[in-house]
Amino acid sequence: MKPELLLIALVALGVLIWVFRPKSKPLPGGDLPYQRQLYLFSKTERAFHRVLEKVNDDRAVILGKVCVGDVITPKRSLSRNERQSYLEKISSRRFDFVLCSKKDLSVLCAIDLVDVTKNSEARSERQAFLEQVCLAADVPLLQVTARTQYDFSRIEKIFRRFVPKEEEEKDEIYLWTQLQIDADKE
């Protein structure tokens, strides 16, 4: 047999095998450029979460990576365009943690871990904006310097100010928190 005919026969056989091969169904999302994150929280967030869990003593629900827009919303008195504009300013931002009442999941306070190693003017402006938004919406904001280790007793003292033992203490602590935030700005 001539080598040219043999080559043509092999190519034809290869094409037939490829055309009639069993078709496997592609996995959903198989072609999308995404991958799973190993951890939900960064190393510093995990360290802070462990301390929060210890001081919490099952008094509050601890939520992590909460969108600011899920906690704070523009006032209904604004026009639709104004509401949308203000919503866009907060929709891409998140709180590292939010402490909620076990009774009704109402927000007790928001926690933002501040990375001082990445200090820039733009970051400072974003931080100041978040403070102003929380103050305007009456959401207590606890800003904690991000670390890989935290002083348990110090975090416990701060936590006790924001999370009352009894629901009826909530108003007193809330008022103190707002006064403390106002005092820090003067």
Confidence of residue 61 (pLDDT cuts 50, 70, 90): very high
Run of H or E residues at 156 = helix 152-162
Residue 85 lies in a domain: yes
Residue 65 lies in a domain: yes
Q: Which residue has the higher pLDDT, 18 or 24?
A: 18
Residue 28 lies in a domain: no
- For 160, residues 6+ apart whose C-beta sits below 8 A from its C-beta are 55
Which range of residues forms the domain containing residue 80?
43-185
SS3 132: helix
Whole-model pTM? 0.71
| Sequence-ordered alpha helix ranges (H) in 60-144 | 68-71, 80-91, 121-136
Q: Rounded to an integer, what distance in angstroms lies between the CA atom of residue 98 and that of residue 67?
A: 10
- Please write the tens of the pLDDT for every residue from 86-95: 999 999 999 9
Question: Is the torsion defined by CA of 117, 56, 105, 42 positive or negative?
Answer: positive
- Please write the tens of the pLDDT for every residue from 96-116: 999 999 999 999 999 999 888
- For 89, residues 6+ apart whose C-beta sits below 8 A from its C-beta are 129
Residue 30 lies in a domain: no
Specify the pairing of strand 107-114 against strand 141-145.
parallel
Residue 20 lies in a domain: no
Q: Residue 11 has which token pair?
A: 């190519």
Counted domains in the chain: 1
